[in-house]
Chains A and B, each alone.
Chain A
């Protein structure tokens, strides 16, 4: 089942490369039917039987590469399956044929790589998978061929390449220290010490560069703002989560047991808070809708990094479960809401030809469904009940208060206010009446519905907190017998 999560999109990618004819989008359709089913199956399996791993090629622990499925990976897999499938359907109606020829193979390859990344258990394999994601993402970002997008894409590529190289050097340090590559074994073997600390610093810096945390956020807004709408949605909702997932897995799985994370966790937490404030502020003053949404990504990624000081400073913290739930909820609801926002922005551009918010007047009466989508997704971003964003912030607040590290509360509180500011700024323009009616093209049915479904999902996941929290319990994460069912 879990192997098929990689095999199916790869087969579709090859198919769409070899047969780029009229029916190229059907490869995407088929994949978006299969993957959610497969992801749900894997999730049920993990939900009932706990974490499991498979050894690729049948080679056992230190030698072979493994795929590891636990509660955390399953949650990210489901999110990717849902967002990916809906964006695929949107893209099938969005791209004209000569762009679709380039879009499908790259996106399907990237989908396979993302699925593989969420099951990764081998640090060198993680590097290869990350690079596959990077090159596909950079190629997708330049899909429109505009000069700005080319520059943004190249800047992203270079930052990501430097980040990967730092990560790879870290892999080298870990290998030199322990002589193994499997994260699961490293989590037991790795002791603290200067070599491990160097590996830790290099890998963290590399992944932080790729996740666009504050000092390295500069590549994100142009890259996400200039890409075609479905691509922006994919990049913001999924690609950033990939490197964040790997960072989380490494910190909690490998470095925290070795006891070298505590000081760095505060640094990441501070950067996260700064990213929330700075990103939200920038979003408030941007003149274009897509740039607002892109800067909002910078801010929302900041929230994710609050997990580290809450999880990795005190061993066996009683509030860990709430911090886990807050972080994963933030990742999922941000993925869904951000995809909805970018797709809705895409509809707006299709209809009016621009995404400058001064030209957005009166869209509430002309494109009511798109406006409604913007509003719903905004609710989730702000963290109003009962949305997924609310659960995330609620859990974060509880964990923060229980841990006594009250200063982190600045981020959810002030960040929420600033978010409300830019969401209402968008909606405010949408409801303004224009003096003269601008020319607007109708938006096809499917293109309006898909973002709405995504926005609804980001609200509705707030009602299913139990299962997700169950999946994040401690015994669902790393816990497997070494001689288990692998």
Chain B
């Protein structure tokens, strides 16, 4: 029971830390890492609901969703990294031209 709250709150903290990193880092690689930390938080939240009382019984649906989500996340990450590399090859920069800060205002 307590396990659920511990992991769910951790998940939220990871999500928000990732969001923060995404907003303030200028470097593209760091932004992508931050997105992955956010994704880790979301997945952790799903698994913490799958197994609220840490007994043997686990809801398989969130597990399947997280497996799907991991594949989606790695696909997008790989594509984003490829774009970042291409931008570096063309401009010699690891940043986007104008700063773009993303903020998740209301929650």
A and B touch in their complex, CB below 8 angstroms: yes
Look across to chain A and name the residue whose beta carbon is closest to the beta carbon of B69. Answer: A168
Interface assignment of A305: CB less than 8 Å from any CB of chain B: no
Once bound together, how far apart are the Cα atoms of A378 and B101, in whole Å? 33
- Contact indicator A205/B107 (Cβ below 8 Å): yes
Closest to A157 in B: B80
Q: Which of A148, A165, A267 contacts B15 (CB 8 A)?
A: A165
- B100/A218 in contact, CB under 8 A: yes
A154:B96 contact, CB within 8 angstroms? yes
Please determine whether B45 and A135 come into contact, CB atoms closer than 8 angstroms: no
- Is the pair A142, B83 in contact by a Cβ cutoff of 8 Å? yes
Name the one of A134, A153, A162, A198 contacting B35, with C-beta atoms under 8 angstroms.
A162
CB B29 to nearest CB in A, in angstroms, measures 11
Q: Mark B17-51, 1 if CB is under 8 A from A, else 0.
A: 00100100000100110010011011001100100
Within A181-224, the residues touching B (CB, 8 Å) are: 181, 198, 201-202, 204-205, 209, 215-216, 218-219
Q: Does A257 contact B (CB under 8 A)?
A: no
Contact at B105–A205, with CB atoms within 8 Å? yes
CB contacts under 8 Å to A, within B74-104, are 75-76, 79-80, 83-84, 86-87, 90-91, 96-97, 100, 102-104
Write the chain A residue with the least CB distance to B103: A215
Q: Is the interface of A mostly helix, strand, loop or mixed?
A: helix
User: CA of A154 to CA of B19 in the docked complex: distance in angstroms?
Assistant: 17
Which residue of the partner chain, among B42, B68, B84, B90, contacts A169 with CB atoms under 8 Å?
B42
B105's nearest neighbour on chain A, judged by CB, is A205
Q: How many A-B residue pairs have C-beta atoms within 8 angstroms? Tell me.
A: 97
Whether A151 contacts B15 by the Cβ 8 Å rule is no
Instruction: Give 19 CB contacts A-B under 8 Å.
Output: A131-B76, A135-B76, A138-B79, A139-B79, A147-B87, A147-B91, A153-B83, A154-B83, A155-B100, A157-B80, A161-B35, A162-B38, A162-B104, A165-B38, A165-B42, A169-B15, A198-B107, A204-B106, A205-B106
Chain B interface residues toward A at CB < 8 A = 15, 19, 22, 28, 31-32, 35, 38-39, 41-42, 45-46, 49, 61-62, 65, 68-69, 72, 75-76, 79-80, 83-84, 86-87, 90-91, 96-97, 100, 102-107
What is A's interface to B at a CB cutoff of 8 Å? 124, 127-128, 131, 134-135, 138-139, 142, 147-148, 150-151, 153-155, 157-159, 161-162, 165-166, 168-169, 172, 175-176, 181, 198, 201-202, 204-205, 209, 215-216, 218-219, 264, 267
